[in-house]
Structure 1
Amino acid sequence: MGAAKILVIGGGAGGLPLVTFLGRKLGKHHLADITLVDSSSIHVWKPRYHEVATGAIDADLDAVDYRAHARLNHYRFEPGTLTQVDAAGQTVTLAPVHDQQGEEVLPERKLAYDYLVLAVGSQSNDFNTPGVREHALFLDSRQQADRFRERFLNACLHANHVNAPLSVAIVGGGATGVELAAEIHHAISMLKLYGHEHLDRKQLNVHLIEAAPRILPVLTERVSATAHARLEALGVQVHVNTLVERAEPNTFVVKNGDDITADLLVWAAGVKAPDVLGGIDGLERNRINQIVVEPTLQAKGQPRIFVIGDCAACLLPGSEKPIPPRAQSAQQMAQHMAKNFERLLQYDKPLQPFTYKDRGSLVSLSQYNSVGMLMGNLKGGNFFVEGWLARMMYISLYRLHQAALYGWPRTLMLLVAGRFNRLVRPRLKLH
């Protein structure tokens, strides 16, 4: 019998660390044949999309090339987008790959597996709100973040030329919306250094719109109140208890309130699993399309299909409360899955149930003294931090992600290289 075929769909915060761990532990010793499938050729950490969108980071410098990473970590990379899963035949179907001119590069393909891991993440949930898909921007992918940056920089260029105000309206007071609102203010400050002499934060109108009674509703009231106060101090107009009924060109139409107009409309409210999961027979899903899993992260009724990250509906032990769709959840699931595959394939031992450890939630308010966070499960309780300590802890999360992919020596080299880049490159990506 040959090496087991492990197929991982999705190279995000869960899928990429998983194939990295598996490649080093099993692929290197020919105990498993590991393949990663992703529609993109590079990986950018999703919690940084708001920084990509405003140009605070250059994603080309920060990205992980799947092919290069696969070669170093003993797995294969296959470009493609999942369209179908045949659980009985243990195959998946990938859509054809086309270039920018529409020419077919790769045909439709079928890949066989012994074990399938779905790690396709999540996307914004527009709740079928009319007009949103046509008139609003999203930040669910690197391509969408790049599109926002292009639109944002062009809007800034125009506003500077005519010496007029610039406005951005963001629906969704979760982490993405809050962080983007603060990052836009920072970007305007930076652009003033690069020829936009008429552009000023005093002429910037950022609206943050949340349907719940407060922003960051899944975090504690103290974190929410602190973030709210910091945003208003920056000049962000925070609208709570505000429900958007529909989107029109440059306008969010609000229920029982004044419509909010802006040069750029952004939708960052709610999450749901990708629509492709709805077309897979034999899998149980919840109301936001997540696949319901057993404690071992196996899809219910499908022992050879595993689900990790935002697309997994996994309950906290002894609770009806789901594990939150966060990067730390996906990373912990990836580490657990790697150990379980090692137990199963190397030692023929049973799978162990997944246990989630909440290490807290961090919210970045760009470079300002403005990171409010909640750290959980420290000596049995929570504590609140903000300021420079919170900022350092927020940055450390990304360094830990890099260390999982590269190891600490290479991560430290990347950190040093980044410092040198700052000497010769602009402080904002300007194109």
Structure 2
Amino acid sequence: MHRFVVIGGGAGGLELATRLGDAFGARRRNPQATVTLIDRNPTHIWKPLLHEVAAGSMDPYTHQLEYAAQAYWHGFEFQQGELTGIDRAAHTVTIAAVDDDTGREMLPSRSIRYDTLIIAIGSTTHFFNVPGADAHAFALDTVAEAERFRRRLIAACTRAESNDDALRAQGALPTHKRHRVQIAIVGGGATGVELSAELRNTAQVLSAYGLHGLDPRDDIGIVLIESGPRLLPALPERVSTETARLLEARAIDVRLGERVTEVAEHAVRTASGRDIPVDLTVWAAGIKAPRVLSTLDGLTVNGLGQLNVRPTLQTELDDDIFALGDCAACVWPTTGRNVPPRAQAAHQQAEFLFRAMRDRLSGRPLRAFEYRDLGSLVSLGHVTAVGNLMGGLIGGTMFIDGLFARIMYMSLYRMHIAALHGIPRMLLDTLAHWLRRRTVPRVKLH
């Protein structure tokens, strides 16, 4: 049987593996292909929600999906491990050994044969060689990193109040000239904007539950630093302007035209000579493809390390290797630029590649991928969002904000769940999480 191998279980890769398994895999009466999904982690979570994990407003352990369970339900195989190499002549991929939490080897390094290989390993944070950024700033690439930031935030708030109590007992509490806890977010794109809004809500909830006695607005400062002239540079200017207004109304210090030149343990330095004192720094200023892509057997990459692909999403030098999502440099003919690294692009490419794999099995020629920009939405907390809807969805362009925009934003995640489980299970999942939110705090408190 034909061997499909998908590397990367993000939004696009997992959706593609699921659809291929349903259509051709082991649970079919007459299976036509084997489908293998490879990922370095055992579980999946929708990456656009990691800012909510970092702010504590989403418990990742109730939203994560076990790859092994998804594989069983949908007729594909899951292999855990990180991609280390490809042998194009032998049609094999090599994945690294996997250790347990004590450092002992749990799975050995393996080679897996393929007839068609789809690479969907996403992106990592781009620090742009800024001194100290990778050492002192949090990069919200994984659940583990988002959880580590959340714990550090709670510790910083608790420590600040404890220090004040000690000074008060000595009768020496000074007049504070700055926020007692200061959080800097570098990068005014969607991740930075959404995280800043969620953190303001988190500060209020932590105070309400008594985890600290700080004023959530005046004692906990959030500064959003963007090197360009406006926030959300990839979106229309009206969306940027409204976003800046809403953030400033939440006492978030928005600093535009400030390029960060160094990140120290307790300070962020900018090209204008400013030193911004901080307790925690989050780097959300850009992404690049994982370094392993530039080491693969003869495959070409662009300046950001993305695999160069043709309109069919096949790599330039190998018809049997495809790429999708953030790790693929796919030209968008309408604009002359590459397709943007968004969840909607990965979803559309997964749908396209499912049809392409069906054509490939039938011996039909492959068509060209056409990206449709349906607009963008940015969350500004649990009750509001801003964005624009475009194209075939409404027949034009429309600015939206408020509760309606928030509902539309939440529906994007529900569409992802429906793609993985079908509409009936998505509705049950939505109900289950709604009921759970009635019995637990809105923010994780530990």
Q: Indicate the TM-score class for this superposition, using the shorter chain for normalisation.
A: over 0.9
**C-alpha deviation, 1:426, in angstroms:** 2.0
Amino acid at match of 1:382: T
Q: For residues 135-146 of structure 1, what are the structure 2 equivalents within 5 Å?
A: 135-146=136-147
Residue 325 of structure 1 corresponds to which residue in structure 2? Answer: 341
Aligned 1:350-429 pairs, distance under 5 A: 350-369=365-384, 371-378=385-392, 380-429=395-444
Residue in structure 2 matched with residue 261 of structure 1 by the alignment: 277
1:39–1:79 CA contact under 8 A, matched in 2 = yes
Aligned residue number for residue 81 of structure 1: 82
Structure 1 stretch displaced more, 359-368 or 161-170: 161-170
Give the 3-state SS of the residue equivalent to 2:438 in structure 1.
helix
Deviation at 1:129, TM superposition (A): 0.9
Alignment pair present for 1:65 and 2:63: no
Quick one: which amino acid aligns to residue 307 of structure 1?
Answer: A
Matched letter for residue 246 of structure 2: R
Unaligned runs of 5+ in 2: 165-178
Which stretch has the larger CA shift, 117-126 or 156-165? 156-165
Name the structure 1 match of 2:2: 4
Contact 2:158 2:212 in 1 (8 A): no
Compute the displacement of 1:380 (Å). Answer: 4.6
**TM-fit CA distance, 1:360:** 0.5
Deviation, structure 1 residue 26: 1.0
Could you say if the C-alpha distance between residues 5 and 168 of structure 1 is closer, same or farther in structure 2, counting changes exceeding 3 Å? same
SS at match of 1:353: coil
TM-aligned CA deviation for residue 154 of structure 1: 1.3
Asked whether the equivalents of residues 10 and 36 of structure 1 are also in contact (C-alpha less than 8 Å), the reply is yes
Instruction: Give yes or no for contact 1:157–1:196 (8 Å, CA) kept in 2.
Output: yes
Counterpart code for 1:190: V
Deviation readout 1:352-384 (Å, 9 max, x if unpaired): 111111111000001244x11011114553110
Kept in 1, the 8 Å contact 2:383–2:403? The answer is: no
Give the corresponding residue for 2:235. Answer: 219
User: In the alignment, which residue of structure 2 is the partner of 1:203?
Assistant: 219
**Contact 2:294/2:300, CA 8 A, preserved across alignment:** no
With 400-409 and 187-196 compared, the bigger mean Cα shift is at 187-196
1:18 corresponds in structure 2 to 16
The amino acid of 1:278's aligned partner reads S
Contact map agreement 1:50 1:139 (CA 8 A) in 2? yes
Matched residues in 1 for 2:161 and 2:236: separation? Answer: 39
2:306 matches 1:308? no
Q: Distance in 1 between matches of 2:100 and 2:151?
A: 21
**SS where residue 11 of structure 2 aligns?**
coil
Do the aligned partners of 2:183 and 2:280 also contact (CA within 8 Å) in 1?
Answer: yes
Distance 2:338 2:130 in 1: 25
Question: What is the DSSP-based 3-state SS (H/G/I as helix, E as strand, rest coil) of the residue aligned with 1:332?
Answer: helix
Distance 1:377 1:317 in 2: 16
Counterpart contact for 1:96–1:106, Cα < 8 Å: yes
Give 3-state SS (helix, strand or coil) of 1:216's partner.
coil
Cα deviations by residue, 1:190-225 (Å, 9 ceiling, x for unpaired): 112222351322211111111111110111100000
What pairs up with 1:13-52 in 2 under 5 angstroms?
13-27=11-25, 28-29=27-28, 30-52=31-53
- What secondary structure sits across from 2:399 in the alignment? strand
Helix, strand or coil for the counterpart of 2:161?
helix
3-state SS in 2 of match to 1:374: strand
Q: 1:335 aligns with which of 314, 335, 351?
A: 351
Partner of 2:170: none
CA distance in 2, matches of 1:314, 1:184: 34
**Amino acid in the other structure paired with 1:15:** G
Q: CA deviation at 1:86?
A: 1.2
Task: Please tell me whether the aligned partners of residues 383 and 406 of structure 2 are also in contact (alpha carbons under 8 angstroms).
Answer: no
Identity of aligned residues (%): 44
- Amino acid in structure 2 at the alignment position of 1:40: N
Q: Deviations over 1:155-178 (max 9, x none)?
A: 122233335721100100000000
The Cα RMSD (Å) is 1.3
Q: What is the SS of the residue equivalent to 2:374?
A: coil
- 1:151 equivalent to 2:152? Answer yes
CA distance in 2, matches of 1:63, 1:273: 23
Give the Cα–Cα distance (whole angstroms) in 1 for the partners of residues 33 and 235 of structure 2: 40
CA–CA distance in structure 1, aligned partners of residues 283 and 353 of structure 2? 33
Q: Which residue of 2 aligns with 1:283?
A: 299
Runs of 4 or more consecutive aligned structure 1 residues displaced over 6 Å after TM superposition: none
Correspondence for 2:168: none
**Runs of 5+ unmatched residues, structure 1:** none
Contact 1:160/1:196, CA 8 A, preserved across alignment = no
Alignment partners' CA distance in 1, 2:99 and 2:251: 44
The structural deviation recorded for 1:319 is: 4.3
Distance apart, 1:386 and its partner CA: 0.3
Match of 1:185 among 200, 204, 229: 200
- Cα distance between partner residues in 1 of 2:208 and 2:264: 34
Deviation of residue 250 (structure 1)? 1.4
Distance 1:318 1:382 in 2: 16
Q: Which residue of 2 aligns with 1:296?
A: 312
Query: Does residue 348 in structure 1 map to residue 363 in structure 2?
Result: yes
Tell me the equivalent position of 2:167: none
